Amino acid sequence: MPTLETKQKIIAAAISCFNQEGIANVRLQQIADEAFVSLGNMTYHYRNKEAIVQAVWEQWAAEQSKLLAEFRILPLFEDVDLLLRNSFASQQNYRFFYLDILEVLRAYPELVPAHQQHLNWQIQQLSLAMQFNVSRGSLQGLTEVDFQGLSEYFWSQLDLWMYRQQVMGRPTDDFDAFRTTLWKVLSPYFSDMGKREFEQLGAY
């Protein structure tokens, strides 16, 4: 089996195991069994669990970066809605990461600098998108100071939504609830143009 294909199988198996059991409860043998490879073969590619977690994080970050890179080209309301749909799908694929983020970062502190840098980049892209929507007239009532705070709040509602749902005993696979939560962050700033554009989405 080609090396790249084997590595992809191992990462997919690790994500599946982490989602089912939580990252702290998964042993290397479980990942190997899920991937249908021997433990020796797996450790040839990833010498330990830390290396697997690092590879999973890199895959997640690359996917997130691609979503935002595509989004920032022209972040109209329909593109915001598409970003929410794609972000929700990503959260379902990497459930363990969103539900156990503090546990992951405490257990693997080597991820912290890169993760923080990635989050700051995400927030910056969201801020630029909001500025664009103010300039085109779909959002109003925001100053230069507001962009950063609102972007951080939007990010927190997006990234921590699943964790909050889990803690409160609510479904974590309800896209409509997720979508509604995020649009409510922006709706107080809709201009008349923004309200019309939002209504055309049929988001509620």
State whether 36 and 72 are in the same domain.
Answer: no
CA distance readout (Å), 109 to 53, 98, 146, 153, 167? 11, 16, 31, 24, 24
State whether 11 and 80 are in the same domain.
Answer: no
State whether 24 and 69 are in the same domain.
Answer: no
Residue 71's pLDDT is 75
State whether 30 and 107 are in the same domain.
Answer: no
Closest CA relative to residue 181, chosen from 166, 149, 203, 148: 203
Q: Name the pTM for this structure.
A: 0.88
3-class DSSP state for residue 142?
coil
Low-confidence ranges of the chain (pLDDT < 50): 204
State whether 17 and 99 are in the same domain.
Answer: no
State whether 118 and 195 are in the same domain.
Answer: yes
Which CATH number is 176's domain given? 1.10.357.10
State whether 102 and 193 are in the same domain.
Answer: yes
State whether 90 and 144 are in the same domain.
Answer: yes
Residue 204's pLDDT is 46
Q: CA 86, CA 80: separation in Å to the nearest integer?
A: 10
CA angle 164, 168, 173 (to 5 degrees): 65
Residue 68's pLDDT is 81
Please give the residue range of the domain that contains residue 173.
56-201
CB-based burial label for 200 (10 Å; 0-12, 13-18, 19+): exposed
Residue 2's pLDDT is 60
State whether 40 and 108 are in the same domain.
Answer: no
State whether 97 and 75 are in the same domain.
Answer: yes
DSSP 152: H
State whether 34 and 90 are in the same domain.
Answer: no
Closest CA relative to residue 68, chosen from 126, 111, 28: 126
